[in-house]
Amino acid sequence: MSIFSDKYGQISAILGGQWGDEGKGKLVDIMSEDYDYIVRANGGANAGHTVYVPNTTNPDEPATKYVFHLMPSGILHPGKVCVIGNGCVLHVPTLFEELEMLRKHDINTAGRLIISDRTHLLFEYHLLIDALQEESRGKSKIGTTKRGIGPCYMDKVARRGIRAGELLDFPAFANHFRENVQMLRKAYGQFDYSVEQEIERYREYAKILGPMMKDTSLLLHKAQKERKKILLEGANGLMLDIDHGSYPYVTSSSTAMGGMLCGAGFPPQKVQSVIGILKAYTTRVGGGPFPTELTDRLGDEIRERGGEYGATTNRPRRCGWFDVPVARYSVRLNGFSSINLTKLDVLTGIPTLRIGVRYFHKGQELDSFPGSPAVFAELEVEYIEMEGWKEDISQIDSFRALPETCKRYIQKIENLIECPIEVIGVGKERNKLIRRF
């Protein structure tokens, strides 16, 4: 029975609608059972998609936790082909760590991971440059993960990046690598880095990666023609998009739907459903504007209840109320056909819930998310209040069985963002999900 593909079609996409960490990995994992190809199309090891798999033989045992930074979240399902698209930046040691972790859990990945030969490689020198750049900003730090993402995309845009396919002509790769490090040392000083040792490591990596590399755009085109089902997996969230996010406190790739299509090499008219992931509240990591942030004890309480610590850096996430202007902005830019509202259970027991419904600047209502950092400094948020619920909802599997105040909260958000909420998360495990179809 293909519940999700019957509902959402042959080609579907899942994207984050806030500042990342919305719970994309869980839905991708669940929906992957219905799909043949699962495709990561943007970002790198700065992403952290977490999947909890219940212990089916002993339900009293804790669920097994998997954290994927590069690996598409569908890899846990046998027979599914996972693709790292051309829009990603690939830190090979991190990928190999994830492959080893899967091997230890007896998950066979042989022949199931395909890497675009156009994916840009992220090297250790990118991590060094990332740290140097962040330190140079002083008090204006962005809050980067220091995973080298920005410097790698800088190389890509400057047309000096090294793509995975270059490993197939190793002498040319080695020369290109040496030239890049030499140029970066002129710009950043003689940072400590063993060029030749790194080249030798990649000589071994190339032997493993070579058979995995393909023109993945062509691969997906053929799969679509053969009526295979394809699931596009977004990384980060819209508010971290390099163009449309809370610039400059953003990532270095396009995290919106348009960036996903480009990063997968896939035409827009083939995608039948775009599912947005929104938390029932809002979080973000690092610096930058956060209009509905809670800086009091309740914000700390939500962080602890929700386990709101970065999957990549373990940094504490900033927590706040649900932000309607952000969600509406995301619905509009991404063209969401429906929403998966996640982590609703975290709000259980809070007597009064608030929803940020409108932004004002100097007394004037804003009709969209502002692009100016100066406006953010003077932004005011209008809230509405709603009654919370006390009942444990983590064991509920139907919308009808939810407490009335909980249903009203969901319906209010649905009406305010003008997009149907069709899936609701009530716990971290893959089976803690309510479908409204």
Q: How far is 261 from 411, CA to CA, in rounded Å? A: 31
Closest to 425 in 3D by CA, of 1, 2, 13, 28: 28
Q: How far is 224 from 14, CA to CA, in rounded Å? A: 18
Instruction: Give the active site residue among 21, 117, 241, 345.
Output: 21
Instruction: Give the active site residue among 29, 34, 36, 49.
Output: 49
3-state DSSP call for residue 16?
A: strand
| Residue-by-residue DSSP string for 366-394 | PSS----HHHHHTEEEEEEEEE---S--T
Q: How far is 400 from 423, CA to CA, in rounded Å? A: 13
Cα distances from 299 to residues 105, 182, 294, 336, 393, in angstroms, run: 36, 47, 5, 28, 21
Q: How is residue 344 annotated by DSSP? A: G
24 touches 288 (CB < 8 A): no
Q: How is residue 203 annotated by DSSP? A: H
State the pairing for strand pair 113-116/352-361.
unpaired
Q: How far is 152 from 345, CA to CA, in rounded Å? A: 38
Strand partners, 323: 356
Provide Rg for the chain, Cα atoms: 22
Residue 21 known to be catalytic? yes
191 touches 132 (CB < 8 A): yes
Closest to 251 in 3D by CA, of 379, 119, 367, 144: 144
Encoded tokens for 342: 């996640």
Closest to 9 in 3D by CA, of 266, 235, 224: 224
424 touches 434 (CB < 8 A): yes
Residues involved in catalysis: 21, 49
